[in-house]
């Protein structure tokens, strides 16, 4: 019994920790949204999540070399929109352009990388909620 109670406590703590991290993430993400000038291209913060994804050019987002610049490229935040009725289904939209990556100050580059990671963190929660809601369409089978 104690083992089950301990597992429940651990799970509750983890869920609470995720929700706290999510709230903090959204707050910082909103600040970066304005600071990086993305609000000039996307009027409302909430509309940012209508994009299928947000990506980055000029800098690596890989776990092993996060933030490493790709020389000769341009630092840019790209949004990917998707329209299933269009001839070309997906479309890249530049949300912010910062010039040649070698010329961008390190602090700005780090904020750009942070923005994309924070966006993806929140988007993953939204995806999780979406599929959780979809599961409600399936009836519970009695055992």
pLDDT number for residue 142: 47
Over range 6-14, report the average pLDDT: 81
Give the pLDDT confidence of 50-95 residue by residue, as tens digits. 999 999 999 998 888 888 889 999 999 999 988 777 677 788 999 9
Please name every residue paired with 15 in a beta bridge, in sequence order, or none if there are none: none
Where exactly are the structural domains of the chain?
3-137
Give the pLDDT confidence of 30-40 residue by residue, as tens digits. 999 999 999 99
C-alpha 48/C-alpha 93 separation (Å) is: 12
SS (H, E, C) 109-133: HHHHHHHHHHHHHHHHHHHHHHHHH
Contact between 52 and 81 (Cβ < 8 Å)? yes
Give the pLDDT confidence of 91-133 residue by residue, as tens digits. 899 999 999 999 999 999 999 999 999 999 999 988 888 888 8
pLDDT number for residue 143: 46
Residue 2: pLDDT over 80: no
């Amino acid at each position: 019994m104690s083992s089950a109670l301990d597992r429940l406590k651990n799970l509750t703590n983890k869920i609470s920790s995720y929700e706290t991290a999510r709230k903090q993430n959204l707050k910082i993400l909103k600040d970066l949204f304005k600071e990086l000038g993305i609000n000039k291209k996307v009027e409302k913060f909430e509309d940012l999540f209508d994009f299928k994804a947000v990506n980055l050019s000029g800098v690596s987002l890989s776990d092993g070399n996060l933030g490493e610049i790709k020389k000769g490229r341009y630092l840019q935040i790209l949004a990917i929109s998707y329209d299933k009725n269009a001839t070309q289904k997906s479309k890249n939209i530049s949300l912010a352009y910062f010039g040649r990556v070698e010329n961008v100050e390190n602090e700005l580059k780090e904020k750009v990388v942070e923005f994309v990671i924070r966006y993806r963190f929140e988007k993953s929660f939204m995806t999780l909620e979406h599929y959780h809601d979809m599961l409600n369409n399936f009836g519970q089978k009695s055992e």
